[in-house]
Amino acid sequence: MVKRISLKDIAKKVGVSTALVSYVLNNKKEGRISKEVAQKIKDAAKELNYTANQIARSLKTNKTFTIGLIVSDISNPFSSILNRIIEDEAEKSNYLVLSGSSDESSDKLWKLTRVLQNYQVDGFIISPAEHSAPLIQQLQEQNIPFVLIDRYFPEIKTNYVTIDNYKAAYEGVKHMIENGYRQIGLVGLDIALFNMQERRRGYMDALKEHDLPIKEEWIKRVKREHVKEAVPKAIDELMALDEPVDAVLFTNNVVSTQALKYINTLPIRVPDDLAIVSFDESDAADLFYAPITHIKQPLQEMGRLAADILLENIAERQEIKQVKMEAKLIVRKSTERKGKLGRIL
Amino acid sequence: MVKRISLKDIAKKVGVSTALVSYVLNNKKEGRISKEVAQKIKDAAKELNYTANQIARSLKTNKTFTIGLIVSDISNPFSSILNRIIEDEAEKSNYLVLSGSSDESSDKLWKLTRVLQNYQVDGFIISPAEHSAPLIQQLQEQNIPFVLIDRYFPEIKTNYVTIDNYKAAYEGVKHMIENGYRQIGLVGLDIALFNMQERRRGYMDALKEHDLPIKEEWIKRVKREHVKEAVPKAIDELMALDEPVDAVLFTNNVVSTQALKYINTLPIRVPDDLAIVSFDESDAADLFYAPITHIKQPLQEMGRLAADILLENIAERQEIKQVKMEAKLIVRKSTERKGKLGRIL
C-alpha cells in the first residue's frame, strides 16, 4: 500500500538532479560531490522511506548485491569472527552478507542454500557440514558462484580458501617433541571432515618421523553435541592410563576451551604435568594461567580472500582458485621445555 | 533453465502418494509415517534437486518462513550465542534465520532491514544500533512484525525482550560495597544507548544509597572502535589516581575481556588490589586466575522468548509485549570480602 518513492521525489526534495541522487544512493566512489550534499540526499531518502533502490539496482544489474554465508555454528568464535571479516570485506563492494548455521547437518545446509537461492543471493561462502559433498557437487554443477572456506572436499574441484591443516598439526607436535615431550595425545572432534583427518595425519606423521609410539588410547574423539561432558571424560582417561600422556594436541577450539576450563580445576600443572598445543586463538588460551601455545589461522586473510574470490566470480566466471594458507605456531608457556629432559639434552 | 521438479515427480520416484510427499517435505509433526519412508522421500527430493518447496509454500501461505536477525556485531560472543539460540528456537517452527551486523551504524541497519524486507522475511529480531530510533519508529508504523532484543528505546512502544539493566548494575555494585570495597569505578562503552545509561544509573544509585562518593574520574567510557588501546589506558588512569579505585564494574563484555587480558599482565592482584564485577559470562571471566563475579543474562530465555513473540506476531497481530527479565549475579573470587575491612567489620 505504501506509495513507491522514486529518485525524482528525493531529487525534488533536496533540490538536486535525479542523476546526482542515483549517484549517491548507488554508493559509487566518493570524492566527486560534497559530503554535505551526499548526506542531505541520504537523509531525504531515509525520511521518504525510499525502498526502491535495491530492487531498481537489481533489475538494472541482474544482481541483488547480497552474499549468503553458511557456517557450521555461528556461536563458535572461529565462525563469528570470520563472519564479521567477510561482512567488512563485502561491504567495501557494497555487498551485504546474510548468514546462517548448518549445525553440521547437510539437511539444514541444503535448506539454507535453497532459501538463499530463492532469495537470489549472488553467491555463497560456505564452510560445509559433514556429509555435504553431494550438495556441494550439485552447487558446482549448477554453476552457482561459491567459495568454500576452512573446509573442503578434495574429491570435488571447487574454489576454496583454507590452511594447510596437515602441516599445522605436524609443526605443533614437532615443537612439543623438540621441547622434550614424548607421550603425546590428541583430543579432537568425532567428525567426518577432511580437515580433521589432515590434522590427525599431521600428528601421526610427526610422531612417526621422530620414532615415537602412536597409541590408540592416546587419541580421543568427542561428539560435538556432548563436548561439555565428553572432553573432561577424555582428559580423565588420558591422565589415568598406566602410561599417561605428558602432552596433548587439541585439534579444535571448542574442544580446547572446554579442556582448559576443566584442566584449570585439576591438581595437574601445565606444562610440568601436561604440555598443550591447541588449534586457534581464544580468550581461554590467552587467560589460562600458562598461556597456551596455539596454531593461529590467518582469519583476516582467509575471510578477505574468500570474499574477493567470490566477488570476482560473481562479476565474471573465473578459473577455479584453491588457496592453502600457512598457519602460524604461536609459542607460549604451555609448551615450555620439559624440565628433566631439558637438563639431559 | 532447470526443469522444475514437482511433488508428483518425487512421489513417482519413491512410489508413494503426492500427499505423503507434501506431508513429509512440509515437515509436519512426525509419528504418522515411518522414518524410513520419510528419509526416502527426502533423499529423492534432494537427488531430484527439488527447489519448489519454499516457493510453493510461500505462495500458499503468503509467508517465506524466514526471520531477519540484526545484531550490532556478530563477532561479539553475546550476539553470536544469542543468534544460535534464536536459530534453534525458530527451527522448531520450521523457520530459518538470516543474520547481519549493523556495526552500530543506523545506516547499515537501515540497509539490512531494506534488503531483508525486499526478500520478504516474515519479521525481524533486532538489537538496534545507536541512533536508530527513527528507523525503529518507521518499522513500527509500517506494521512490520518485529521484536527488539537486549536494547530498546523507552520512547517507542515496541515489543522487546531485555533485562533490567538498572537493577543488574545496582546489585553488582551493592555486592562489592557489602564486601568492603569503597572506591568503585566503572568502565563501559561510550555509546548512546538506553541500556548503557541504565547500567550507569544503577551504579550511581548504589553508591549514593550507601553514602559513597561518585567521582567523575572514576567513570571511564571507551570508544568501541578502540577498545584494544582505550581499555588499558582507562585502567592505567584509574590505578594512577591519587585516590585509586579498589573495585570496578565493567558494563560490557567486550570491555571486560580486554580489561582482564590487560590486568593479567599487571603487578596488581585481583581481588586484593582490585575487585571486579563484569556484565555477561565469558571464557575470559571463567579462566582469569581469580574467576570473575559477573552479571549473567538469561540468554536462553531471552532468545527463545523473542523468537516466540515474533512468531506469534507473524501468525496474528498481538498486543505489544515488553519483557524485562532478571539478570543473576554469579559471585566468585574476584569480589571476595576485602581482607582488612573483613577483620574490622
- Whether residues A275 and A201 share a domain: the answer is yes
- Whether residues B135 and B263 share a domain: the answer is no
Verify whether the Cβ–Cβ distance A98 to B99 is below 8 Å.
yes
- The reply to whether B234 falls in a domain is yes
- Whether residues B41 and B20 share a domain: the answer is yes
Q: Name residues whose C-beta falls within 8 Å of residue B200's C-beta, 6 or more positions apart in sequence.
A: B169, B186, B188, B219, B251
CA distance A36 to chain B (A): 16
Please determine, for residue A3, whether its predicted confidence score (pLDDT) is greater than 50.
no
Q: Enumerate the residues of chain B whose CB falls inside 8 A of the CB of residue A100.
A: 87, 96-99
State the CB neighbour count (10 A cutoff) for residue B236: 11
Which has more pLDDT, B9 or B332?
B332
Which has more pLDDT, A49 or B207?
B207
How far out from the chain centre does Cα A177 lie?
A: 29
Q: Which of B82, B98, B143, B265 to mutate to test the interface with A (most CBs of A within 10 A)?
A: B98
pLDDT band at B49 (very low <50, low <70, confident <90, very high): low
- The reply to whether A117 falls in a domain is yes
Alpha-carbon gap, residue B156 to B161, rounded angstroms: 14
Please determine, for residue A345, whether its predicted confidence score (pLDDT) is greater than 80.
no
Predicted local distance difference test score (pLDDT) of residue B1: 26
- Whether residues A24 and A92 share a domain: the answer is no
- Whether residues B186 and B142 share a domain: the answer is no
Q: Name residues whose C-beta falls within 8 Å of residue B209's C-beta, 6 or more positions apart in sequence.
A: none
pLDDT band at B344 (very low <50, low <70, confident <90, very high): very low
According to DSSP, residue A213 is labeled -
Three-class secondary structure assignment of B123-184: EEEECCCCCCHHHHHHHHHCCCCEEEECCCCCCCCCCEEEECHHHHHHHHHHHHHHCCCCCE
Verify whether the Cβ–Cβ distance A115 to B53 is below 8 Å.
no
Which has more pLDDT, A310 or B15?
A310
Q: Name residues whose C-beta falls within 8 Å of residue B90's C-beta, 6 or more positions apart in sequence.
A: B67, B96, B97, B307, B311
Extract the C-alpha cell encoding B201. 544509573
Looking at this predicted complex, what is its ipTM? 0.78
Verify whether the Cβ–Cβ distance B101 to A87 is below 8 Å.
yes
Verify whether the Cβ–Cβ distance A46 to B80 is below 8 Å.
no
- The reply to whether A1 falls in a domain is no
- The reply to whether A78 falls in a domain is yes
Which has more pLDDT, B27 or A128?
A128
CA distance A208 to chain B (A): 35
CA distance B342 to chain A (A): 27
Q: Enumerate the residues of chain B whose CB falls inside 8 A of the CB of residue A288.
A: 287
Q: Which of B50, B83, B255 to mutate to test the interface with A (most CBs of A within 10 A)?
A: B83
State the CB neighbour count (10 A cutoff) for residue B63: 16
Of B64, B108, B287, the CB nearest to A261: B287
Q: Enumerate the residues of chain B whose CB falls inside 8 A of the CB of residue A83.
A: 74-75, 80, 101
Contact indicator for A319, A300 with CB cutoff of 8 Å: no
Q: Which domain holds residue A82?
A: 66-162+299-324
Q: What is the CATH number of the domain that holds B308?
A: 3.40.50.2300
Verify whether the Cβ–Cβ distance A96 to B96 is below 8 Å.
no
pLDDT band at B164 (very low <50, low <70, confident <90, very high): very high
Predicted local distance difference test score (pLDDT) of residue B230: 97
Verify whether the Cβ–Cβ distance A87 to B81 is below 8 Å.
no
- Whether residues B306 and B270 share a domain: the answer is no
Contact indicator for A96, A66 with CB cutoff of 8 Å: yes
Verify whether the Cβ–Cβ distance B74 to A87 is below 8 Å.
yes
| Mean pLDDT, residues A106-129 | 91
- The reply to whether A150 falls in a domain is yes
Tens-digit pLDDT profile for residues B68-78: 999 999 999 99
- Whether residues B195 and B337 share a domain: the answer is yes
CA distance A211 to chain B (A): 36
Verify whether the Cβ–Cβ distance A142 to B284 is below 8 Å.
no
- The reply to whether B135 falls in a domain is yes
- The reply to whether B2 falls in a domain is no
State the CB neighbour count (10 A cutoff) for residue B158: 18
Q: Enumerate the residues of chain B whose CB falls inside 8 A of the CB of residue A257.
A: 283
pLDDT band at A1 (very low <50, low <70, confident <90, very high): very low
Please determine, for residue A96, whether its predicted confidence score (pLDDT) is greater than 80.
yes
Alpha-carbon gap, residue A283 to A302, rounded angstroms: 20
Predicted local distance difference test score (pLDDT) of residue B39: 84
Please determine, for residue B341, whether its predicted confidence score (pLDDT) is greater than 50.
no
Tens-digit pLDDT profile for residues A287-305: 999 999 999 999 999 999 9
Tens-digit pLDDT profile for residues B98-145: 999 998 999 999 999 988 888 789 999 999 999 999 999 999 999 999
Contact indicator for A25, A42 with CB cutoff of 8 Å: yes
| Mean pLDDT, residues A83-94 | 94
| Mean pLDDT, residues A239-243 | 94
Q: What is the CATH number of the domain that holds A21?
A: 1.10.260
Verify whether the Cβ–Cβ distance B84 to A73 is below 8 Å.
yes
| Mean pLDDT, residues A167-179 | 98
Cα distance from N-terminal residue to C-terminal residue, chain B: 81
Measured on CA atoms in the order A251, A256, A262, A265, is the torsion positive or negative?
positive
- Whether residues B194 and B155 share a domain: the answer is no
- Whether residues A24 and A77 share a domain: the answer is no
Q: Enumerate the residues of chain B whose CB falls inside 8 A of the CB of residue A76.
A: 80
Which has the minimum average pLDDT: A103-107, A325-329, B25-29, B71-75? B25-29
Of A84, A91, A284, the CB nearest to B74: A84
- Whether residues B109 and B139 share a domain: the answer is yes
Of A76, A116, A257, the CB nearest to B283: A257
- The reply to whether A2 falls in a domain is no
Provide the number of structural domains found in chain A.
3
Q: Which of A2, A26, A287 to mutate to test the interface with B (most CBs of B within 10 A)?
A: A287
Of A73, A111, A287, the CB nearest to B287: A287
- Whether residues B143 and B201 share a domain: the answer is no
Extract the C-alpha cell encoding A134. 553431494
Please determine, for residue A343, whether its predicted confidence score (pLDDT) is greater than 50.
no
- Whether residues B30 and B74 share a domain: the answer is no
